[in-house]
């Protein structure tokens, strides 16, 4: 059973590394960004509610994420095999919600993997990727939102002795290697 949270700025490689590790361990990779982008692509009612926030690089309101996360972590594959959470939690209110939810579901998080990458490298990676929210202005906004709302989670999880930091400013295979050493796979 593996239960991990991936934390880090936009472009740190959370999605890339979470997918590799989830495939290796055969556990669900739960990316809130992917779930929300799918909702937008399928024009669901959730998609309609979240699109403008995503386009602006703002966080989607917490209450839209809570039911989604509760539902996903209660599904059989997540209950039986574990999970990697990528992109959730994103602020202290989401982290507190998750802490309570895990208690309720009788689950616990093994580690929080914090991928550290300098801002100038992040900006370059996101420019090159060119996703809809990778324009210059939106990248700047996403980095600002990360600094003000998500960075406090570093202390939140450090205080709970869950935080493990990995240097994400290395070639992808090197990052994967450090990650595998850390989680023992
Ligand atoms: P989300 O999809 O979570 O975006 P993000 O956190 O900004 O993360 P990214 O996908 O940009 O980066 P990543 O760290 O996953 O890096 P990746 O592996 O892709 O969220 C998007 C939006 O959804 C948010 O702005 C918000 O509106 C909303 N949202 C999502 N979750 C939410 C929540 N919980 N609450 C509220 N709102 C929420 O890599 C990036 C690029 O770098 C790729 O091209 C990759 O190939 C490359 N790369 C990766 N690793 C390396 C490496 N080691 N060397 C060189 N290149 C690399």
- Give the dihedral sign, CA 120/61/71/154: positive
| Number of Cβ within a 10 Å radius of residue 62 | 13
Give the distance (Å) from ligand 1 centre to CA of residue 4: 16
Q: How confident is the model at residue 177, as a pLDDT?
A: 97
* Rounded Cα gap, residues 3 and 112, in angstroms: 9
Structure tokens given for 132: 């809809």
Q: How confident is the model at residue 184, as a pLDDT?
A: 87
Nearest Cα to 115, choosing from 70, 84, 159, 75?
Answer: 84
Q: How confident is the model at residue 124, as a pLDDT?
A: 97
Q: How confident is the model at residue 18, as a pLDDT?
A: 98
Q: How confident is the model at residue 173, as a pLDDT?
A: 98
* Rounded Cα gap, residues 133 and 22, in angstroms: 25
14 flagged as catalytic: yes
Q: Is 25 in the pocket of ligand 1 (CB under 6 A)?
A: no
90 flagged as catalytic: yes
Nearest Cα to 52, choosing from 129, 141, 122?
Answer: 141
Helix count and strand count (H, E) for the chain: 10, 5
Q: Give the residue whose CA is nearest to atom 20 of ligand 1.
A: 33
Q: How confident is the model at residue 180, as a pLDDT?
A: 96
Place of tokens 């989401």: 94
Give every residue of the chain whose pLDDT is below 50, as ranges: none
Q: Is 97 in the pocket of ligand 1 (CB under 6 A)?
A: no
Q: Is 90 in the pocket of ligand 1 (CB under 6 A)?
A: yes
């Amino acid at each position: 059973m593996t239960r991990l949270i991936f934390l880090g700025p936009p472009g740190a490689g959370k999605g890339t590394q979470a997918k590799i590790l989830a495939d290796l361990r055969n556990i669900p990779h739960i990316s809130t960004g992917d779930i929300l982008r799918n909702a937008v692509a399928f024009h669901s009612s959730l998609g309609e509610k979240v699109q403008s926030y995503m386009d602006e690089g703002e966080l989607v309101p917490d209450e839209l994420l809570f039911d989604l996360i509760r539902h996903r972590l209660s599904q059989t594959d997540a209950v039986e095999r574990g999970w990697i959470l990528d992109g959730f939690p994103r602020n202290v209110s989401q982290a507190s919600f998750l802490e309570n939810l895990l208690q309720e579901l009788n689950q616990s998080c093994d580690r929080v993997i914090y991928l550290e990458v300098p801002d100038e490298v992040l900006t370059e990676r996101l420019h090159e990727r060119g996703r809809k929210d990778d324009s210059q202005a939106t990248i700047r906004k996403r980095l600002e939102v990360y600094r003000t709302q998500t960075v406090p989670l570093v202390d939140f999880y450090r205080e709970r002795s869950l935080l493990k930091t990995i240097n994400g400013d290395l070639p992808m295979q090197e990052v994967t290697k450090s990650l595998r050493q850390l989680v023992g796979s």
